Amino acid sequence: MKWRVCLAVALVFLCCSTPALAQRRMSGGSGTVSANETKFEITPLYGWIWGGTIRTYEGDFILDASGGWGVLVDITLRPGAQLELKYIRQDTDLYLKSGVERETLADIAVNYYQVGGLYEFQHKGNADFFGTVTLGATQLSPKNVAAGDEWLFSSTLGVGTKVFLSERIGLRLQADWMLNFVTSSMWCGWYGCSLGGQAISQGMLSAGLIFAF
């Protein structure tokens, strides 16, 4: 239901965007005003999150694919570069898969708290194409079992586009790769030292509305 509401709102803005886009043209040139000329942006978003497997001797602990929502805050540092604050939440099930058997262990909330940067690598028409890198923490919160929260160091890599429909409203589409580091180890030999470990890898496709100020 949430993604249907977001899609409907986005279509309304898209249908009304043609006059606004014409106003974004700079006088005396063929370019358009870049999104990064704004002071900061707030983007509520909704998307689909999948992945999240830890392999053990007992079997595979898996986070079920489900919808996720969140909010992004981007603060312009210079043209083409922004500081990004990110919060993403996924409400899902954690289950254990051993052979053909599957056992649901808990309802769980996965919360991402991230800070990093956004870099615009291409500006074409009213669209900005960008990449993001963030670092932070992930909070795993079981809901229906007597267990405490688990905190993991995490990072995300993303690519996407911002399409501005007016000076203050835009549409943001993004794909993210999210890594949560569960264990780590270090071993050394005659060749030197190496780091290793296991991580929960997740992917997310999302869409959101940008409110620029």
Domain layout of the chain by residue ranges? 2-18+41-212
pLDDT at 193: 52
Report residue 174 as tokens.
């993004």
Nearest C-alpha neighbor of 88 from the set 163, 18, 190, 176: 176
| pLDDT surpasses 80 at 145 | no
**By the 8 A CB rule, do 175 and 202 touch?**
no
β-pairing, 101-124 vs 127-142, is antiparallel
Q: What is the pTM of this model?
A: 0.77
pLDDT digits (tens, 9 = 90+) for 90-128: 999 988 888 778 888 889 999 999 999 999 999 888 899
User: CATH number of the domain at 2-18+41-212, please?
Assistant: 2.40.160.20
Q: What angle do CA 49, 53, 57 make, to 5 degrees?
A: 165
Nearest C-alpha neighbor of 156 from the set 128, 179, 175: 179
Please tell me the total number of residues recorded for the chain in this structure: 213
Which residues does residue 138 pair with via DSSP β-bridges, in sequence order? 112, 152
Which three-class secondary structure state does DSSP give residue 38? coil
CA 199 to mean position of chain CA atoms:
17
Calpha distance 89→176 (Å, rounded) = 14
Place of tokens 């180890």: 185
pLDDT digits (tens, 9 = 90+) for 15-74: 444 344 434 433 333 444 455 566 899 999 999 999 988 887 778 889 999 999 999 999
